Amino acid sequence: MRSAILSALTVSATAVSAVTYDYIVVGSGPGGGPLAADLSRAGYSTLLIEAGGDEGLNPTYDDIANFNEAANDEATRWDFWVKHSDDPVRDLKFKHNTWDTGAGTFYVGLDPPPGAKLLGIQYPRAGVLGGCAMHNGAVTTLPQDDDWNVIVNTTGDVSWEAGKMRRYLKEIERNDYLAAGNPAHGYDGWLSITAAPDVSWAKNDNLTGTKILKEVARLTGQDVSKVADLVSKDILEDVPNRDQVTSFYNMAQHSDSKGKRSSPNNYVRATLAEKKYPLTLKLHTLVTKVLFSNSTDGMAKAPPRAIGVEVMEGASLYRADPRSVPGGKGPVSQIFASKEVIVSGGAFNTPQILKLSGIGPRAELEKFGIPVIKDLPGVGERLADNYENSLLALANQTVDLPGLITMQFRTPSAVGKNRNFFTWCGNFIFQGFWPGFPGFAGPTQFTCAMLHIGPKSQSGSVRLRSADPRDVPDINFRFFEHGGAADLHEFVEAANLLRESWLAAGAPAAPFEELHPCPGRLAKGRAECSDAAQAEYFKTQVYSHHASSTAAIGGDNDPLAVLDSKFRVRGVNGLRVVDASAFPVVPGAFPVLPTMMISRKAAEDIIADAKKAAA
């Protein structure tokens, strides 16, 4: 018999909620939102706590085409100002460094006005019901099989075998782009996934876009005569050796075929609307820490047990929120869970919440006077992200391309056999994040966005700046710390390949004036900027938005493991982490679908444990 001792809580003068829930889930993003809905649908009383509000019916969020506006919107924006390295001189070369010029105004660039205060590199997150799935580009891909299998290798838990993970996609998916009955897909889940309904443009050889497409096919060894079929290929297909295939695909998004965003927001609201599940949603509430009690297990002393959370109520309390005011505060209270607390605050906030609760590297906690519940050195470490950048040019005339060229491919020097790039090319601009992104270079702008899969370095960190839960932590990605030269070489290979394909465009789109990374007129035989110059460009200019691994699953003998394979925080009871922090490596090209898949897996694990305990 385990009995929680509630007497000696660290905070005793605060209000205590009259209701005790079975589960408390902190954060309603792709990790926490669906999990809370699933737990309540299984009959367990569940409290979902979200710092932000609900923008589900706001067209800025609901219409997927507005994703860039959504990510800039002050109604939900959380600005994290991050570092890319320990070298301030290197970071100052980043073109979109942001400076505070007072009264809520920014300067973005390399030549700040006198008196401007350096903020750093903007890394947007969404503080809102549904988390970053409410402002993201909604691109859905599966991780590489290795990204799942590595968990089997380190923990011995075969439930993570790649072949067993597709089930979670099928359970959550409501496929909106393939005829019913495709065995690789689900049709009854809560997450609509769609893809471009019409990619027939690729059949028209007159289009400049098709000329470029065919040249990319030629350069990557694909069948040039089949490009029109390849561009409609299912990006979530289930084929052997998928990770080794270089191919075009039809990009998929978590949206329905009418362009309405589909996200945990919809699932949580639908679960509440049915009025028959014990789900309680608390918006505009910042979780400030997890509460623990010492517990006993028979005669033996058991590890501390998570018994609830402390919260501060009010909108915009967190200082990443541009609307937060100095000294802003709200009433503090405690809410209790009889079974478990699940932290799903995302890759920046989850480690912060754990540390504020006394779970993290001892020295860091002691520095801020936080009583240590469990010394776990991996909390906030191993931060990793996919490197991203783009080729950007101005065409002489808008490129005829009524869609996107989407491709996953392998560059020649990639380690191993797996493809290492995701690219999408078209008449758009994407150069990373800053207040006001993405910019506009003119109606003839043409981009190939490049996303490097599988960074060799995972040396980033999320560390406390203070013990105040409203303060934003110090985030440093330490890009390229390990294997940097190899990753940069792969990046240059990808850029050179894609740039070469543009030479096939011909008039009237050509000539192209490249804006970056190699400014100048594109021409055959042109003395391009050197590979070394491009590598230096990418080293200082890559950006990212797929942060993961700051509370990672790992094996018993891994000193930096934070979770076991069932998402349980090591060394304490009743506490799990379910969000992008849990991945030991960045999951493939795009993390949002994998995060929703592990949310489903975690629901299954948690419900199984509850049934076992009740039996």
Ligand X SMILES: *[C@@H]1O[C@H](CO)[C@@H](O)[C@H](O)[C@H]1NC(C)=O
Ligand Y SMILES: Cc1cc2nc3c(=O)[nH]c(=O)nc-3n(C[C@H](O)[C@H](O)[C@H](O)COP(=O)(O)OP(=O)(O)OC[C@H]3O[C@@H](n4cnc5c(N)ncnc54)[C@H](O)[C@@H]3O)c2cc1C
Residues of this chain that interact with ligand Y (CB under 6 A) are 26-32, 49-52, 71, 124-125, 127-128, 131-133, 135-139, 286-287, 344-347, 349, 353, 545-546, 579-580, 590-592, 595
CA distance 369 to 246: 52
| x-or-dash string of contact with ligand X, 268-297, rule CB under 6 A | -------------------------xx---
Number of residue whose CB is nearest ligand Y: 29
CA 99-105-111 angle, to 5 degrees, is: 35
Question: Does position 204 bind ligand X by CB under 6 A?
Answer: yes
Q: How far apart are CA 191 and CA 176, in angstroms?
A: 10
With CB cut-offs between 5 and 8 Å by kind, which of ligand X, ligand Y, none does residue 344 bind?
ligand Y
Rounded Cα distance, 206 and 208, in Å: 6
Annotated binding site: 128, 136-139, 287
By CB under 6 A, residue 511 contacts ligand X = yes
The one segment of 84-92, 146-154, 165-173, 266-274 that binds ligand X by CB under 6 A: 146-154
The CB-of-313 to ligand Y minimum distance in angstroms stands at: 11
Helix, strand, or coil (residue 536): helix
The one of ligand X, ligand Y, none whose footprint includes residue 139, by CB under 5 to 8 A per kind, is ligand Y
Residue 549 burial (10 A CB sphere; 0-12, 13-18, 19+): buried
DSSP run (H or E) holding 165: helix 162-172
At 218, list the tokens: 């030629």
Residue 91 host element (H or E): helix 88-91
User: Closest distance between ligand X and the C-beta of residue 468, in Å?
Assistant: 22
Binding partner selected for residue 71 from ligand X, ligand Y, none, CB under the kind-specific 5 to 8 Å limit: ligand Y
- Distance, in Å, from the CA atom of 290 to the CA atom of 342, rounded to the nearest integer, reads 10
* Contact flag: residue 444 with ligand X (CB under 6 A): no
CB of 331 to ligand X, least distance (A): 23
Quick one: CA torsion of 17, 304, 565, 583, rounded to 10 degrees? 70
DSSP state of 610: H
Nearer to ligand X, 150 or 191 (CB): 150
Cα angle for residues 12, 14, 20 (degrees, 5° grid): 90
For the bound state, the minimum distance from the C-beta of residue 216 to ligand X, rounded and expressed in Å, comes to 20
* Minimum CB–partner distance for residue 247 and ligand X (Å): 22
CA distance 502 to 29: 38
CB of 484 to ligand X, least distance (A): 22
Per the structure block, which two tokens stand in for 268?
């949580």
Cα first-last separation, the chain: 13
CB nearer to ligand X: give 5 or 485: 5
In the bound complex, what is the minimum distance in angstroms from residue 603's beta carbon to ligand X?
Answer: 25
DSSP-derived pairing of the beta strands 332-343 and 300-313: antiparallel
Task: Pick between residue 137 and residue 484 the one whose CB is nearest to ligand Y.
Answer: 137
Which of the choices ligand Y, ligand X, none does residue 138 contact, using the CB cut-off of 5 to 8 A by kind?
A: ligand Y
Which residues 148-177 are close enough to bind ligand X by CB under 6 A? 149-150, 153
User: Could you say whether residue 589 binds ligand X (CB under 6 A)?
Assistant: no
**396 forms part of the interface with ligand X (CB under 6 A):** yes
Annotated binding site for FAD: 128, 136-139, 287
What residues pair up with 308 in beta bridges, in sequence order?
Answer: 291, 336
251/586 with CB nearer ligand X = 586
Q: Is 146 in the site for ligand X (CB under 6 A)?
A: yes
Measured distance CA(388)–CA(451) in Å, rounded: 5
Task: Using DSSP, state whether 534 is helix, strand or coil.
Answer: helix
The Cα 27–Cα 595 span in angstroms is 13
At closest approach, how far in Å is the CB of 262 from ligand X? 31
* Residue ranges binding ligand X (CB under 6 A): 5, 8, 146, 149-150, 153, 204, 206, 293-294, 396-397, 508, 511
